[in-house]
Structure 1
Amino acid sequence: MRMIRYTYIVLFLLLVSQAMAQETDTAPTGAIEDAQIIIEKDKPLTLPRASRVYKPSAIQPVVTDTVNLSFYLSQPQATFDPYAFSPEVKSLSKTEALEANTNYLKVGFGNYLSPEIRGFAGVADGNRRVGLFVDHESFARGPVRKDESAYSNTQVILQGSLSNTGLVVSPFVNYELERYYFYGYEDEPAEQGITDRIATNYFRLGSDFSGSNGAFSYTATPFLAFTTMGASGQEAFNRESNLGLNGSGTYKQNESLEFRLGTDYSYSGYQSGVIQKRHVFHLIPEVRYHNDRLLLAGGAALGVSSDSVGASTALGVFPRFKGSFAINEQFAIMANATGGFAANDLNTLRKRNRYLEDTLTLLNQREHVNMEIALEYKMRHDMSLEPFISYSNTANYAFFVPSGLDSARYTLRYDTGGLGRSAFGVRYRLINNRSQLSAEMAMVSYQTDTLAEAWYLPGTTLKLNYSQLIGEQWRVHGEMYVWDGLKGPVGGTSEAYVLPTIVDLSVGGSYQIDDRFSAYVDIENLLGIRYERYLNYPVRGITAKIGFIYRF
């Protein structure tokens, strides 16, 4: 295990050293010579001539594709959160398009009989804007038993914006349909095979409100959401409704000091045989101060949590702190600490693991503290290195364990006493107008209270993202994830099974044919390792797609 971790460290340092060796634009340097200026009453002002003429460099446009082509794991994808690499539905390159109102259509096709269609269309008229984003990707064949491990995901986002004097209203509607099979059987299923195709529907409706009046500004986001899971053509075996309101008001005393009062409320009603109701509320007063070198934001979250499972109500006071101090032009120290209640809602859980059993027990999570201290070292104007250490302690963190009724499905177990997580690592960033490289490596240890192990949480993580513009028309990119130390329970026992190390490498490129057309190719899981994020669920092997992007 130590040898593997040391290998990650060497690999990380080699990649950073290679990036440092790249030629990048440097900030102009030079000294301006002294000049004496004499101002006399009732005489015109005349500036002395400088002995050298300084001409600013011509501004070079940043040449990029309209669409940010990203790489994701084969199935399921995963991202790094404060506790784990959590599987989630395929991310979308929608943010830039929604904000910039960029219209495009992306169409591709790949092996496993996998079409991909993604696009955005929006119009803007003065202070009004509306946009529609659609994304679909499907795989008619999967890693095992062909169509019995097929997968598809469709997402639709409709977003608008209307601004008036002092008020901006931005309504939104999100819809997602995910289809898949429970194919993760340790032994071959019955002769009839896997017949139930599961459909998960997620719908969210709401609006963002923001405005200002002099020194006072405010935001508010009410929303309503529904999640259902069930076999196609049958009644849902998991369903949940969510209602929430997040908002804040800020008073700006002066350029350095402001006062903020935030609040959030959420209701979750889960139904699968019985109805479980949960409420979470926070009131968050804060004070923020900043100057050229210092940023301080401090306060507290006063929280209330209740759920019908334990028939109990809990109160808590949690930290809210964020600070940074620039020691000099190269070094800065940063720290933050948060905490609070959170609902383990069905939509969040199925993004971490879609292969869920019915009749789940959903409890509110209590994060006592989550804090991090980091030191930023700016090696160049476009390059930084950031070592960090972090610690968190959370009660009722949800772990996934195989169901006793169906080995291909997962149910929930909670560490009710509190899960401790300690981590140290380093982040690296290189960002300029032609190259973007980000890397993060972390070594994590867990301290469980009521569970034997921190099931399916990684002990060592490494994540790399790279993008390079070659000439003015070619762009290449790549992404790599490495996770080590994942453990899963064997059956209904506390015995641990150590999963093999996960290594997922993806590469791709695009060629801009003209102002409207680009061609692209993406290859995911280039090494073809059919690793298992969860036991008995191997991912697809090498997945390649080729297609085009049309802008309009």
Structure 2
Amino acid sequence: MRYLLFIILVALVQTVNAQDNWENPKTSEMEDSQIIIEKNRQIELPRATRNFQQVPKIKKDSIQVPVTFTIKEFQPTLNSIKPKIRVLTVQDEKLDKLYANQVKAGLGNYGATYLEAFLANKRNKNQSYGLHFNHQSFAKGAVDGNNSGSGYQLVKPYGKLIFDKTVVEADAFYERHNNYLYGYDSTVTEIDRDSIQRTYHTVGASINLKDRNLEDAYQYGIGLELYQLFSNYEAGEGSFDYSITNSFELSEEFEVFLNSDGFFSKHQFNDNEYSRNRSLFRIKPGVSYELGKLRINGGFNFVYENDTLESMNRLHVYPDVSLEYSLLAKVSAKAGIRGDVREVRLRNLLAENPYLNDSVVLSNTLMPFELYGSVYGSFSSMLGFDAGFSIASVKNNYGYVPDNVYPEIFNPVYFSGNNTEINIYAGLTAQLNPDWKAALRADYFYFNLDNGLEMPYRPGTQLVFNTDYLIAQKLTIGLNGHFQGSMNPGFTPTTDTPNLNDEGEIPAIFDLGLKFDYKLSDRSHVFLHANNLIAKEYQYYYNYPNRGFRILAGFIYSF
């Protein structure tokens, strides 16, 4: 401890002396000096040697060591579960009893008799068959009592078989039409009723095959029909008709198709002393492409036929292009251009005009060009509509003219020049509730013929409507009407020509009908139909007035 105190004391004395020397300028001044610092360090390393030889490969040992795996199957054993839960089952509802058979019968003025029957099998998912029978006749007409009567009968058995991949439908039929040429001169007192009778019978059969699975990419359909028409005036027609459809869906948007149809027929006339073989063969290839809401259909129509007035044995090639666009969820529009041959056969002419001559000329109608468009759909579940137009260029279109010798019979007349045919139409369907429904359609027709001619027996306007209303769950009331504009009679009228209007035309037609249906039970009804309420004996063909006010009452029974 003493040494430590001595050291501290000496240090203090030196410190004081140093402070005292700061005040003496001679002793406190520092001498001039120069300090030089040199750095001469250098690192030297010996030169290294490098080896550029490749690294030697390591030899693999080719010895394979076998490895085996042993998997032990583990099968757990579980005790069976016996839940004490009772599953409730709902008993299937019983189907309502099906009354597949129905008979309708009625009587009316003008000696009217009506009988119609529908007979069919019970429910069966693989087959159905039945029989349709229809009889309608009038013992008298508007002129000379039973000299203007008429009748129609139909017997048609049918059947349908459903297999795993194919549906087969077949039927046979017999039809009988009976009419009288009562458009004779009323000044004639003696008329042989048998000589003015026109009766023709048609017997035939058809079979159709089509694909059952609509989800398949390939779809097909085949239809065959054979019929023979006989008449009491030794004119007839036999025909074999066919139709084939093929479509193949390459993708959801793209589809190709190849369709074909036609007929081979034989027309007998002039008491069967003469006959003519007629044929038409049509092939329609094309494609269909869907692009969003737009569907494009394009193809060609190849038609070979042998009996137009223009020439014989002609092959016609026409376009067939259309566009379909979905405007709204339930509204669509369609437009297109196409060409075709309208086949004309004796069976079709007799269905349109039963007062034909014994021997008539049959020639197909050419339609090289037709532009058409339509808008259709529904605004709601209660209102639907369909409106459109068509403008066509037509050759060999036909009408009817009275015979020069016997004006009570008609001959078809063909217009060989190019003529324009226009149709504008609009239709509405409505169902405001399950008890009320109605339908309405209006058409406008225009025919532009050469040399200022008018198309005979083709009206310019037509309006058809029909409505039904259910009252008190048992009584149904219906109202229907038919309006048709005036027509050209097919000849040049004179000043004293009867049954024509001031313009020398067949007057317009307006027919109004009313019907009542009362439900006695689930299986029986009674009905009352009244037609031509205006009681006007209008005529469609010259000198062939229709019956006036008509009434038919009857009974309907299902079993």
Question: What TM-score results when the alignment is normalised by the length of structure 1?
Answer: 0.76
User: Quick check: 2:331–2:379 contact (8 Å CA) kept in 1?
Assistant: no
Q: Cα gap change, 1:311/1:291 in structure 2, threshold over 3 Å: closer, same or farther?
A: closer
Matching residue within 105, 121, 124 for 1:123: 121
User: In 2, distance between residues paired with 1:322 and 1:532?
Assistant: 40
User: Quick check: 1:484–1:502 contact (8 Å CA) kept in 2?
Assistant: yes
Superposed, which structure 2 residues align to 1:470-509 within 5 Å? 470-490=471-491, 497-509=504-516
**Alignment partner, residue 421 of structure 1:** 421
Superposed, which structure 2 residues align to 1:136-151 within 5 Å? 136-151=135-150
User: In 2, distance between residues paired with 1:132 and 1:186?
Assistant: 43
Query: Which structure ranks higher in relative contact order (CA pairs < 8 Å, sequence separation ≥ 6)?
Result: 1
What is the CA-CA distance between 1:311 and the residue it aligns to? Answer: 6.8
What SS does the aligned partner of 2:450 have? coil
Q: Which moved more, 1:375-384 or 1:427-436?
A: 375-384
User: Quick check: 2:337–2:370 contact (8 Å CA) kept in 1?
Assistant: yes
* Between structures 1 and 2, the one with greater strand share: 1
Say whether residues 1:113 and 2:114 are aligned partners.
no
Letter matched to residue 146 of structure 1: G
What SS does the aligned partner of 1:261 have? strand
**Alignment partner, residue 409 of structure 1:** 409
Q: Cα gap change, 1:192/1:446 in structure 2, threshold over 3 Å: closer, same or farther?
A: closer
User: In 2, distance between residues paired with 1:311 and 1:173?
Assistant: 36
User: Quick check: 1:384–1:430 contact (8 Å CA) kept in 2?
Assistant: yes
User: Quick check: 1:415–1:450 contact (8 Å CA) kept in 2?
Assistant: no
What SS does the aligned partner of 2:351 have? helix
What is the CA-CA distance between 1:193 and the residue it aligns to? Answer: 4.7
Letter matched to residue 356 of structure 1: L
Say whether residues 1:533 and 2:531 are aligned partners.
no
Identity of aligned residues (%): 22
User: Quick check: 1:101–1:122 contact (8 Å CA) kept in 2?
Assistant: no
Letter matched to residue 390 of structure 2: S
Say whether residues 1:257 and 2:254 are aligned partners.
yes
Letter matched to residue 306 of structure 2: S
Q: Cα gap change, 1:115/1:336 in structure 2, threshold over 3 Å: closer, same or farther?
A: farther
What is the CA-CA distance between 1:336 and the residue it aligns to? Answer: 4.2
Q: Which moved more, 1:439-448 or 1:293-302?
A: 293-302
What is the CA-CA distance between 1:504 and the residue it aligns to? Answer: 0.9
**Alignment partner, residue 220 of structure 1:** 222
**Alignment partner, residue 65 of structure 2:** none
Say whether residues 1:167 and 2:160 are aligned partners.
no
Long gaps (5+) in structure 2: 1-96, 498-502
User: In 2, distance between residues paired with 1:322 and 1:551?
Assistant: 46
User: In 1, distance between residues paired with 2:324 and 2:526?
Assistant: 43
What is the CA-CA distance between 1:377 and the residue it aligns to? Answer: 7.3
What SS does the aligned partner of 2:246 have? strand
**Alignment partner, residue 31 of structure 1:** none
Say whether residues 1:545 and 2:546 are aligned partners.
no
User: In 2, distance between residues paired with 1:111 and 1:324?
Assistant: 50
**Alignment partner, residue 443 of structure 1:** 444
**Alignment partner, residue 183 of structure 2:** 184
Q: Which moved more, 1:152-161 or 1:468-477?
A: 468-477
Q: Cα gap change, 1:327/1:309 in structure 2, threshold over 3 Å: closer, same or farther?
A: closer
User: Quick check: 1:101–1:123 contact (8 Å CA) kept in 2?
Assistant: no
User: In 1, distance between residues paired with 2:493 and 2:300?
Assistant: 41
Q: Cα gap change, 1:465/1:321 in structure 2, threshold over 3 Å: closer, same or farther?
A: farther
Letter matched to residue 449 of structure 2: T
**Alignment partner, residue 517 of structure 1:** 524
User: In 2, distance between residues paired with 1:302 and 1:450?
Assistant: 32
User: In 1, distance between residues paired with 2:292 and 2:435?
Assistant: 29
What SS does the aligned partner of 1:530 have? coil
Superposed, which structure 2 residues align to 1:282-301 within 5 Å? 282-290=282-290, 293-301=293-301
Question: What TM-score results when the alignment is normalised by the length of structure 2?
Answer: 0.75
What is the CA-CA distance between 1:385 and the residue it aligns to? Answer: 4.3
What is the CA-CA distance between 1:330 and the residue it aligns to? Answer: 6.8
Q: Cα gap change, 1:308/1:289 in structure 2, threshold over 3 Å: closer, same or farther?
A: closer
User: Quick check: 1:276–1:309 contact (8 Å CA) kept in 2?
Assistant: no
What is the CA-CA distance between 1:379 and the residue it aligns to? Answer: 4.3
Letter matched to residue 524 of structure 1: N
What is the CA-CA distance between 1:505 and the residue it aligns to? Answer: 1.0
User: Quick check: 1:485–1:498 contact (8 Å CA) kept in 2?
Assistant: yes
What SS does the aligned partner of 1:307 have? coil
What SS does the aligned partner of 1:361 have? coil
Superposed, which structure 2 residues align to 1:366-385 within 5 Å? 366-376=366-376, 378-385=378-385
Segments of 4+ moved more than 6 angstroms: 308-311
Q: Which moved more, 1:142-151 or 1:388-397?
A: 388-397
Long gaps (5+) in structure 1: 1-65, 67-99, 231-235
User: Quick check: 1:296–1:324 contact (8 Å CA) kept in 2?
Assistant: yes
Say whether residues 1:104 and 2:102 are aligned partners.
yes
User: Quick check: 1:212–1:218 contact (8 Å CA) kept in 2?
Assistant: no
What is the CA-CA distance between 1:310 and the residue it aligns to? Answer: 7.3
What SS does the aligned partner of 2:146 have? helix
**CA-atom RMSD, angstroms?**
2.6
Letter matched to residue 239 of structure 2: N
User: Quick check: 1:155–1:175 contact (8 Å CA) kept in 2?
Assistant: yes
What SS does the aligned partner of 1:195 have? helix
Q: Indicate the structure (1 or 2) with the bigger Cα radius of gyration.
A: 2
Letter matched to residue 348 of structure 2: T
